[in-house]
Amino acid sequence: MVDLSAFLADNPYFSAGFGLLGVGAGVAVLRQGARRGADLMRRQLLVSMEIPSHDKSYQWVLAWLSRRGAETIRAADGGANASWMSRRIAKAVLPRHMAVQTSYKQHDNGSVSTNFTMVPGQGKHVFFFGGIFVQVDRQRNAKMIDIQSAAPFETVTLTTLSRDRGIFSSILAEAREHALAQNEGRTVLYTSFGPEWRPFGLPRKRRLLDSVILDSGVSEGIVDDVRDFISNGKWYDDRGIPYRRGYLLYGPPGSGKTSFIQALAGELGYNICILNLSERGLTDDRLNHLLTVAPERSLVLLEDIDAAFNRGRQQSEQAAFQQSMVTFSGLLNALDGVASSDERVIFMTTNHIERLDPALIRPGRVDTKVFFGNATPHQIRKMFTRFYGSEHASLADLFACAMEGHSVSTAQLQGHFVVHKRGPQAAVDHVASLIGTARSSPEQLS
């Protein structure tokens, strides 16, 4: 045994193999230690925040990142105030892969409105915030579907080399402020997309209430009634009354029904949810769900309600599948059934109230009916002075006298004033052209 030990000790091949084995084992130990050390450092130093696509802040963060991407591009292009270092950093974090979000809507007249928004695409991106590099990882799981939007489930994960979790709160706060700033002083129009509401296009500038000229007392009456409803939620709750209110605006086309709803939303600081009952694929369940999950501080608008159900209850049930899958009874239940939601303001418009089933417009479903007729002398004078100034009141009286006995909508009046926007005298001189397009009043025909 002594001779064998001496032989192995003196054998150079054995010594080299044993040495290599020891080196390999040492390297493996070091590699495992380095891996564990890296994992430990990652857990201790890297902080991540995951934002799922169904969370409201998901779109806020994407829009905020899109804005920062535009700022980064401007810095990389070398703005006038950009330093050499800022340009180098901007080029280092310049987004390389973008995705487009397109909103599309085809209007009844055949025209199409689209809006494009560039956001960070799938994969990893880096941006600079508060002196710290933050990695953005946007991933899509094609095997998982978001139940609300029927779209593939997505997540955005923000990771930073900082133990200060306050950076994420700052990012979320800035993204929220950016989103709110985009809508400040504006009205957001929502349209239905599957089982949820999505903003359509860019927020619109709020329309002033006095820009819609109605007959004396009409506008004030509706505004006071809506404000009274909004401010008396506890009164409804204490008496066990469903806290919802419905309005029906009816009258000839061009009388300002939809325009007034837009102005009312601007006056209240509300948004508008537009729901088309003739939309293909709309069902009773989806209609009820959409009315239940309507965004807060929003007016729900059902335009041209007679177009969806204009042949009575029985015939509408039979014809429902030709346009959508909403039945008349489904609409009634969505408006005031057991499953209908509270804290809701619904506006319906129609050009033909006589075509509506009495069950649709009974109290509880429609609490207030307001007639929007053709322009009265009061409206004609007010619209004239609004376009040309109160100093032309005498011309406004002359114009109103010339229109006496003729029926004209406020939309026709506005079109006439736009054509002759250069001066009030031209509007008076060409009043005959307006009369030629206007229908004679029933009194004159009789």
Name the band, by pLDDT with cuts 50, 70 and 90, for residue 131: confident
The top-scoring range by mean pLDDT among 45-54, 121-130, 247-256 is: 247-256
pLDDT value at 431 more than 80:
yes
pLDDT confidence of residue 253: 92
pTM of the model: 0.69
pLDDT value at 220 more than 90:
yes
In a domain, 277, yes or no: yes
The reply to whether 285 and 342 lie within a common domain is yes
Task: Write the pLDDT tens digit of every residue in 359-368.
Answer: 999 988 999 9
- Mean pLDDT on 16-36: 66
pLDDT confidence of residue 444: 37
Instruction: Sort residue 328 into left (φ over 0), alpha (ψ -120 to 50) or beta.
Output: alpha
The reply to whether 319 and 223 lie within a common domain is yes
Name the band, by pLDDT with cuts 50, 70 and 90, for residue 378: very high
Name the band, by pLDDT with cuts 50, 70 and 90, for residue 392: very high
pLDDT confidence of residue 176: 85
The residue among 357, 349, 303 whose CA lies nearest residue 327 is: 357
The reply to whether 257 and 336 lie within a common domain is yes
pLDDT confidence of residue 419: 93
- Mean pLDDT on 284-312: 84
Q: Which two tokens stand for residue 335?
A: 């408006």
Q: Point out the domain boundary residue: 347, 371, 395.
A: 371
Percent of the chain with pLDDT over 70: 71
Are 122 and 97 spatial neighbours (Cβ–Cβ below 8 Å)?
yes
In a domain, 238, yes or no: yes
Task: Write the pLDDT tens digit of every residue in 146-198.
Answer: 655 556 778 888 888 776 778 888 888 888 888 777 777 789 899 988 788 88
CA distance 399 to 169: 61
DSSP state of 224: H
Task: Write the pLDDT tens digit of every residue in 313-342.
Answer: 444 444 444 456 888 888 998 888 655 667
CA distance 224 to 122: 49
In a domain, 148, yes or no: yes
Write out 123-148 in H/E/C secondary structure: EEEEEEECCEEEEEEEEEEEEEECCC
Count of domains in the chain? 3
Q: Point out the domain boundary residue: 139, 154, 184.
A: 184
The reply to whether 125 and 274 lie within a common domain is no
The reply to whether 217 and 322 lie within a common domain is yes
The reply to whether 395 and 342 lie within a common domain is no
- Mean pLDDT on 130-157: 74
Please indicate whether residue 84 or residue 151 has the higher confidence score (pLDDT).
151
- Mean pLDDT on 334-351: 81
The reply to whether 175 and 137 lie within a common domain is yes
pLDDT confidence of residue 312: 45
The reply to whether 217 and 298 lie within a common domain is yes
The reply to whether 172 and 310 lie within a common domain is no
The reply to whether 170 and 209 lie within a common domain is no
DSSP-based three-state secondary structure for 137: strand
Phi first, then psi, for residue 340 (nearest 5°) are -70, 150
Looking at every residue in the chain, the average pLDDT score rounds to: 79
Q: Which two tokens stand for residue 40?
A: 């430990």
Name the band, by pLDDT with cuts 50, 70 and 90, for residue 260: very high
- Mean pLDDT on 69-95: 52
pLDDT confidence of residue 302: 93
Please indicate whether residue 79 or residue 136 has the higher confidence score (pLDDT).
136
Name the band, by pLDDT with cuts 50, 70 and 90, for residue 218: very high
Q: Which two tokens stand for residue 161?
A: 């080399």
Percent of the chain with pLDDT over 90: 31
pLDDT confidence of residue 306: 85
Q: Find the domain containing 252 and state its range.
A: 204-371
In a domain, 436, yes or no: yes
The reply to whether 340 and 321 lie within a common domain is yes
CA distance 234 to 343: 11
What is the β-pairing status of strands 271-274 and 439-440? unpaired
pLDDT confidence of residue 57: 85
The top-scoring range by mean pLDDT among 12-21, 28-37, 58-67, 284-293 is: 284-293
CA distance 279 to 115: 21
In a domain, 30, yes or no: no
The reply to whether 255 and 356 lie within a common domain is yes
pLDDT value at 383 more than 70:
yes
pLDDT confidence of residue 43: 60
pLDDT confidence of residue 67: 76
pLDDT confidence of residue 258: 93
In a domain, 24, yes or no: no
Q: Point out the domain boundary residue: 306, 336, 371.
A: 371
In a domain, 34, yes or no: no
Give me the CATH number covering residue 221.
3.40.50.300
pLDDT confidence of residue 194: 79
In a domain, 309, yes or no: yes
